[in-house]
Amino acid sequence: MINRRTVLTLIGAGAVALPSLSFAAAPRVPPGQGGTPPGQAGNPGGGGGKQKNHNNGQSLIGDKIKQNGNHGLGKAGKIDVSADVQGGKIVGFHAKHPDKGELAVNKVKSMQKFAALERRQLPPGPAAVEPAAAVTVWYYAYWFTDEFGNDWYYWFPVEYIIDDGSWIIYSA
């Protein structure tokens, strides 16, 4: 006769013998919303023909950085891209799709240069011979994903950005 102890032993042995068997399905993640930004650990991005488009936000905004207000940076396909400027700093970034409305915009920072930003010139003199290891330069990007899964990055130098601690470190 089978008693309760035997049934529980058989169930426990089955669970140990088949550890990869899962009774619950993995949660479904919508495309383009993997939880970590593309290029981060665990999400290599770029698969399936998706592209990463890096743009020089500094040259796109130009002298408009000196004027407060919302300034257009052009289009990414059908998406209108604009930045809010206040006091010489970018305080907001918008990506507006004509059908879907405002797209989610994220923030990343990197020590690697992804878009051709202007090089900084040190004044002549003893300070110009500063060792490279003593200077850490960060580049900041606002990014969004279009309807095809392509990522669009708009890179800015540190002088244009307010780093409030919410920027995620990006690694390609």
pLDDT tens figures, 2-14:
787 876 777 766 6
| Contacts of range 100-103, beta carbons closer than 8 Å, 24 or more positions apart | 100/147, 103/79, 103/144, 103/145, 103/146
- Report the distance separating Cα 58 and Cα 118, nearest Å: 8
- Report whether pLDDT(166) > 50: yes
Amino acid at 80: D
How much is the average pLDDT of 91-104? 95
Q: What pLDDT score does 143 carry?
A: 94
- Average pLDDT for 131-149: 81
pLDDT, residue 153, reads 94
Q: How does 35-63 read in b/e, with b if 16+ C-beta sit within 10 Å?
A: eebbbbeeeebeeeebeeebbbbbebbee
What percent of the chain stands above pLDDT 70? 63
Question: Would you state the pLDDT for residue 83?
Answer: 96
Q: Give the DSSP H/E element, type plus range, for residue 8.
A: helix 4-17
- Is the pTM higher than 0.85? no
CB 108 within 8 A of CB 168: yes
**Mean pLDDT confidence for 11-40:** 52
